[in-house]
Structures are given as structure tokens and as C-alpha cells.
Structure 1
Amino acid sequence: MAEELNSANPMEQALDNFNQVQIGDVVEAEVLSVDDNQLVVGIDNSGVEGVVPLKELTSNYKADIHDLAQVGDKLELLVLRHSSSDKEDGNFVLSKRRIENRKAYQKMADRQAADEHVTGKVTGTVKSGLLVDVEGLRGFIPASMISDHYVRDLKPFVGQELELKIIEVDPSKNRFVLSHKEIALAEKAQKQAEVFAKLLPGDVVEAKVSRLTNFGAFIDLGGVDGLVHISQISYQHVDKPSDVLKVGQEVKVKVLDLDPERGRISLSIKATQPGPWEDAAQRISAGDEVDGVVKRLTDFGAFVEVLPAVEGLLHVSQISWERVNNPADVLQVGQQLHLKVLNIDPEQKRLGLSLKALTEDPHKNHHSHQNDSTKNDHYTLPKEERGFSLGDMVDPDQLQ
């Protein structure tokens, strides 16, 4: 009878040992063998064996399992479930990776409580943000938390290391959410203070184009962006900033205005370039013949562009030897004209032009006796609200 009881003890003992190992337990185990895709381990003080698949040993599915563990190694493991197939040796499936994840989550939760920042390496992108590795733990940065401004292209961040603030740690949902926005804002505030301290209106500096929008170009002034409005890019009309500028392009800009309270810096590219009227004074003189395009028509004449951003006035009286009541009757916007320069005053931005001066007066003999009486006449022209300075017009008889 005693022998029967003794013979039953090993079976009962094995069953007791098996029942001592519960799913969710953290156990110590020794590596008994290493196969291509799994470890076979013996759980200490239980006589129970289990298996650790490669995917539960590391998150790197390309890793060589023989580099990760050797026979005789002692491992701390989490009991996941009972074995479900013959391919899974032993009674249980265990995980080393999940133990490490659990510890990592707790470590990050402690850092969040202490309001500590962490460093993470961007490993990839998804539609809604960035994937990062923080000390072996996979985290996520939503697109809205990447920077202090909207980021359209996420790919350039891949491979970068970012300082991050921990937003959420929830191991039960496998959620580890981080943000770089707060760090970016703090860095920007510091750089802004440095830039505003050394810049003054009127300063001219060289910098790079950092971003292009429909309304202008943002210029990197050393970690702080200043704006060149589209109207300040060139003296010539610009439809889109991208037509004349590229991201990364070196440009010379003049500081127009600084607003430290709002963190805004207004810049100009065209203010660093010679004005069109400065160039016009070297290229055009009174008496020259020039080609131009009609840009605008008014009751008193036509404004004709003869050089980029340089317009002259073709007064109604200088259009034809015949009387013209309305310039629109004989001219149209976009029309090409060949003209004579009557006068030019670059400082006042005045340019007087004549069309009829290049043709012979059909009434020359009939009106020749009137020349002396009209020699000193000149025209008084209305002012335009657009700020164009109108040229003083000379008597047409002086052209003969």
C-alpha cells in the first residue's frame, strides 16, 4: 500500500508543480535548448518546461536567436498561455519581450510623473504621425504634436533623434504617446529672444528660405523665421513665391519691422536690390526711343511699362496729332507701342512718353505760325490715388 502511494507521488508532484505555474506569472527560467525560432526553457522550482518564440524574445524579427540566448542562460519571463500545438515544446508559452515592455512602461510612467523629458529616434511614419523608439519602447507622436507649426511632409524626420515630452503611458492599451511640440516652442522662444536682441530695422542679412506659401516666403534667421511678403520679393509682379524662390536658397534680406510681442519679423528681398528707377536712369534718356506695353488706361492717358516695374505716362495729347477724346478709343491694355522719351526724373519716378512724336505732323505747315504762341504751354495733369508720380508734359511743338 505504501509502495502504491509512493509510486503516485511523482505524478501528483508534477501535477502540483504544473498547477503552481499560472498565466500572468513572472517566473525565472533556464534555457534548455536553442532552436531556430524558439527557446525551450525550464521554469525554476517547478519541473515545468515552456517555450519562448523568437517574436517573444525580441521585436527584431530579423535577429538571429542564437545571438540572443545560450543554453544555461537564466531569464525572467512572463507566462502568456498554455501551449496550443506540438510545435510549441513544453507546457507554456512565455515572453521575455513583454517583461521588458512592462518594465519600460513603468519606467516611462515614473518619468512622466516626474515631468522628465526623454529622447526618441524616429523609426517610421504613419498617416497620422511618427513612430519612435524610446529606450526599446515603441512610441507615437501625433502629427499635431511634432512641431510648433503644421508639418506637411513627415519623411524628413525619419532617423532623427528628438527630445520628447511624455503625454500618455497606458500599457493595458499598448499606448505610449509623446510630443515634441512643447520642446519646439521652448526652443523657438529662446532663439527668438536671441534673434530679436541682435536685429534692428534696416539691418541686411543673408539667410536661407525655409518655407514657401502662397502669400510669401519664410526665411530662417537662425532658428526663427521671418516673413518676406509676396509684395516684397521683387519689384516685378510675382504670381507665386515658388516661381522665383526655392526652399534652401540663399537670399539677402532687409529687416523692415520687428514685433517681439507677437514674435514677428517682416523682411524684404527687393529692398536689398537696386530699384527699377535707378536702373532706368542708366538705360533711358530724354530723346530715346523705347518699346513698351500698355498696362492701364485712364481718361487722361495711358500708363506704359518700358522696363520691368518702370511705367511712363503717355498723355492723351501725345497719342496722336489728331484729337483723341478718350485713350480707350485708340489704345488697349496689352498693346505693344514704340515711343519717344520726352523726359525722365528717377527721383520723382516720372517718365513722359510720346507716340505722335515719332510721326510727322500732318498739319505742320498749317500750324507753323502758331509755334511761337504755344511754345511755353504745358499740361496740368490730375493725380492718381495709386501713388504713381506723373511726369510734367512738354509742349508738342517743342518736339519739332
Structure 2
Amino acid sequence: MEELLSQQPTKTIKLNRGDKVTGEVIAKTLQEIVLDLGTKSEGVINKRDLPESTIESIKVGDKIESYVLYPESESGQVILSLQNRGQGRQQINPKWIKFMNAVNTEHTFRGKGVDVNKGGLVVEVSGVRGFVPSSQLSGESVLHLGELVGKQLNLKLVEVDPNANKLIFSERKNFTDEQKQALSKIKVGDKVQGPIQSVSSYGAFASLQDGLEGFIHISQASWEKVEDLSSKLSVGEEIEGEVLSVDENLGRVNLSLKNLQEDPFEKVAADYQPDDVIKATVSKVSDNGVFFSLQDGVEGFMPKESMEAGKTYEVGQSMNVLIDKVDLNRRRILLAPFLTSTSGLIYK
């Protein structure tokens, strides 16, 4: 029976941008959610377009509705979006078609640097302006960013949205066969060493063996919150990091320094027990609650629903609070007000 079903021809349905379609989720890859649309081509939704909560909620076997973003990519897939970006929008400029076709492919574009701003490099590719964020440039390029203006670069498409005039690229470096071979041997969890090459506001670059590049995002430099990375790392400093991932386009090895350090939270958190009363200082007030600074970089949080009615909280204010829960996974201690009055309490 299965053999007979497999021999049935797939439906040929002409899809247009903006069409609403229903498909069954048949796979979730690192970058995409793949749907069976009942047609000759599979549909794909780029995970970049989805919040983390939505990605987690979608399971293989689910049937979901989506909209056609582009009827056929270079790889023959239907590019989908959970939002309708096509209906009632202006017609796409023909210059953008080649970028839409290159979604989810390994196509290399040639682009010229035309301007530099705080966030990265503005480029022109086939008559259309795009952007390469600093985080998508090699460490060498970041060091000499101004020199890239007027120069040709190899680029890989990261994101395209013609309606929002959005065209994002990543630099694609040229490597020797030796570098490619060295990169292929590096595995997640490996430990690597090298000197710091440059430090920026968002991360630091390190020189590794075989001409490879290591990148430490500011969030991976220390277990404590780092506001100024230059206060933690300096050019020429020798570091050891754990490999988090490998970026073959940039020839970059993404590293974590803090994974090789003892997490101070585990030790400090052991000193806190539910119902303990401690002194804490307000570090931030948000719509969801109040953040408190405790000790040794440990953060406490009082949810909005736990806050004392009528009480105001200001940054820098110190007060006694009650330990409600120690959350090891989120490295956070949940707090509650320390009430010194029984006013308003109801006894049964």
C-alpha cells in the first residue's frame, strides 16, 4: 500500500506571493522549519523570522498556516512566513529577485563597501544597498573597517525583506586548503588558545593556529555582567576558550571563556535559602519587576506580582527583602518583599 501511495503524483499547484497555505511540519533543522505542502516542493520557514517561544512550540507533525514569501527559491523550495508580507504590498523591484532566489542557499555575492557606521559596513551589491553588521565581519576586517570602503568583498546573504528595504550580509572569507582542513577538525567542546587580536563593544577576536580566528561575544567573556569588555580583555593577552560553534563562512570559531571558569553563582547561591532575609540594592526597575544587586555579581529579581502594593522602588535604594526561590538554571534569585507589618493580612 505504501509503495502504491509513493507512486502517486504530487499535485502541481501554482503559488503566488502572499498566498495562504497549510502544511505539516516534517522537520526542524538548525536554521529552518520544513513543511509538506502537498505539492512537488517543500516549504521552509527561516527560524530567524520567529521568536524562540514560537520555535519551541512548533512540533514535527503539527499543521500550521503560513504565507508564501517567495514561490520558488534557487534550491526549488517555497519560502514561507507566518506573517503575510505579500498581500497588499507594492510590487517587488526586479533587482531584489536574485536575492529572494538566494535565500537558504550558499550563493556568494560580490559587493563593494560604500560607507561605515557604528554598526558595521554599508555595501552595494548589484545596484542594491545592503548592510554587513560588525558581528558578521572577520576580526581583520573590523580592525580596518574604514579601509573596506571602495573595496570588493565576498558576501553571503543572511536576511532579505524587500518590503522593509532590508538586505543583510555576512562576509565570506577565502581560505587556503590548509585552513579549511584545520577548521573541519575543530569540534564543539574543544579547548583552543591564542592571543587577543582586537576588542570591540560587542566582543573580542583572537588569533588561533593555522590562521583561524576566534570570537568571544561579550556575554561569553565572564559569568559576571560585563559592561566594558576592554576592562576584562586586552590586545595581546593569551586566552583559552571552549568552542561553542564553528562559522565556516567567516572561518571563525565562536568561543566561551566563562565555560572554563567556575560559576560563582553556584557557590554564592548555596548561602541563600528560601525565607532568608537579606539586604539588597535596587539595580533596575522594569515593567515586569525589580532587579536587585546582592553580592559577587549575583542578581535578584522581584516579579511585579510580588511587589508590595503602593511601594516605590528606585535605583540605588537599599532594603531588606525575602528570599523566595533560588533558580540555578537562570542564575537568578527570586525575591519577595520583607513585610514588617501585619496590616492587610487576613487570618483564617
Could you say which structure has the larger radius of gyration? 1
Structure having the higher helix fraction is: 1
Q: TM-score, normalised by structure 2?
A: 0.44
After TM superposition, the score normalised by the length of structure 1 is 0.39
